[in-house]
Chain A
């Protein structure tokens, strides 16, 4: 694809809410915020990438995963292993020393290569998610049972990481890295650069997600969400479709995790554990569970109110955050995106009426009518 074609695709895939998001991220934040705040926003944007995946599986396919932290963590740890080796070269990572692991374990060895780490981030979480969920869905483990299994998975993995301190850094996680392939990542300019890279990747996952939703596969996913049986009796095997979209969400989470690690300079089992996994679902719920752009808004709103409330009301902030979440779910069941789209709908109502006779189907290509 040429850059022009990519730009055209982006333009075609963004709605009003999408443009607002883009304007806020590219114009408002970089002008208003200092590097420190900007890197906090970037941290939430990496979480937003995982939340976009949750919208795909939960909002569009009816699969509620309470264990996206598993894939977020996979991506994060693969990146952290690579950065840690770079930071501690030529010695082994410090935490191994403390746990009297004296030589670098064999599975750490290949992470000297950045490309190997990136390949792992892009392949292993998605492949694991596909195989794991396909086994579940083939056995017709669905709905709340699937959610419970993912929750258990997230708990298991975080406990496992804590237990293997010599190999994983244990409860403290992996931290203390300053360079990314020789590039100093703690300076102000690199923080800005990383922020824009994260915005670009967030935009890419939203556009790709929208593209998937508009294909026949996207329609089949919605059909599965609403009537899985009917889809099965239309000759499809819903299990492979659900496993596919689950793998896409896992890939998104892994990319988010990797970006998080680079920007925050830390990867720890806390981010794998259930509270963090459930929080990602909250981001999607606040944004509106069927809006990919909404997921980004939701993450930013929850994330920033968290930062603001915890600084202003150190003792009360968690309660206030809870109240915010309950309030939004009660008052705005379709989240922030629902509000924005309703407003946009009012503004563009006239235009829509004009267009209706020609573009009859929502993908705009129109349907040939037989007179």
Chain B
């Protein structure tokens, strides 16, 4: 057993009385690639929102290494080493791929620092390396707005890679991708999961089978099942929720 990097304890959030996530416990270990699945409204995105600080939980705790994330604001959570990719690709459409990646490099994040910032060769090298990994090496000078949907997804993953987060939260990274792009993304995730933990939300079961170490199933804000893909797929509770029998 390796060490636990993210520990969610008794986490609850309610919106006007509706509990989107209730009493959830979840541990993610170092180097683990965890996939969270569940029907619509299961609370998957809300869970990621709470980890990265976008939504404040009603009660419970989220510990990342030694830090209590529920007490930090978004940018301090990022600076602590948590990266978040959104469901709809969020890139800076008016900037080229190079600039998208450059802004994401954890350097000069203050007003004064960024005003007098000069990028050095190290950053350029890092940008080239990341661009290579996300299959956008030939598009460094294309405006992000002109990329295909799948390429935007990759770019956003690349923007996270620039930050070298210890924990990456990916919300539906293959949504809207062609089968070939899905395969490339699976290879990409395997490649980048070395040395960091990743939590992925995904609907595409074939894709989940390709990448997942362990799978967590959420249903109506609660933990339904947890284990390897095979174990989860044969769990009668999961079958009931998904097939409604």
Contacts and interface: CB of A to CB of B under 8 A. Distances in A.
Contact of B116 (A215, A219, A229, A370): A215
B74 A223 contact: no
Task: Identify which of B90, B102, B156 gathers the most chain A CB atoms within 10 Å of its CB.
Answer: B90
Interface in A329-371: 360-362, 367-370
A226 B94 contact: yes
B75 interface: yes
A219 B140 contact: no
A234 B128 contact: no
A368 B121 contact: yes
Contact of B103 (A216, A240, A369, A370): A216
B91 interface: yes
B103 A219 contact: yes
B74 to A, nearest CB: 5
A222 B98 CA distance: 14
Contact of A220 (B90, B106, B114, B140): B114
Contacts of B141: 360-361
A3 interface: no
B91 A227 contact: yes
B140 A230 contact: no
Interface residues of A, number: 30
A231 B108 CA distance: 13
A310 B140 CA distance: 52
Interface size class of B (residues with CB under 8 A): 35 or more
B79 A217 contact: no
Interface string A233-246: 11111001100100
A212 interface: yes
Contacts of A240: 110-111
Given A219-B99, A220-B114, A229 B121 contact: no
A237 B52 CA distance: 14
B78 A234 contact: yes
24 contacts: A215-B116, A215-B117, A216-B108, A217-B115, A219-B95, A219-B99, A220-B103, A222-B92, A223-B100, A223-B103, A226-B95, A230-B86, A230-B91, A233-B52, A233-B78, A235-B75, A235-B109, A235-B163, A236-B75, A236-B109, A240-B110, A368-B121, A368-B125, A370-B128
Given A217-B111, A220-B114, A233-B83, 19 more contacts: A215-B116, A216-B103, A216-B119, A219-B99, A219-B103, A222-B94, A223-B95, A223-B103, A230-B92, A232-B78, A234-B78, A234-B159, A241-B111, A244-B111, A360-B140, A361-B98, A367-B140, A368-B121, A368-B124
Interface of A: 212, 215-217, 219-220, 222-223, 225-227, 229-237, 240-241, 244, 360-362, 367-370
Can you list the 5 inter-chain pairs with the closest CB atoms, starting with the nearest?
A235-B78, A216-B117, A217-B114, A230-B90, A216-B114
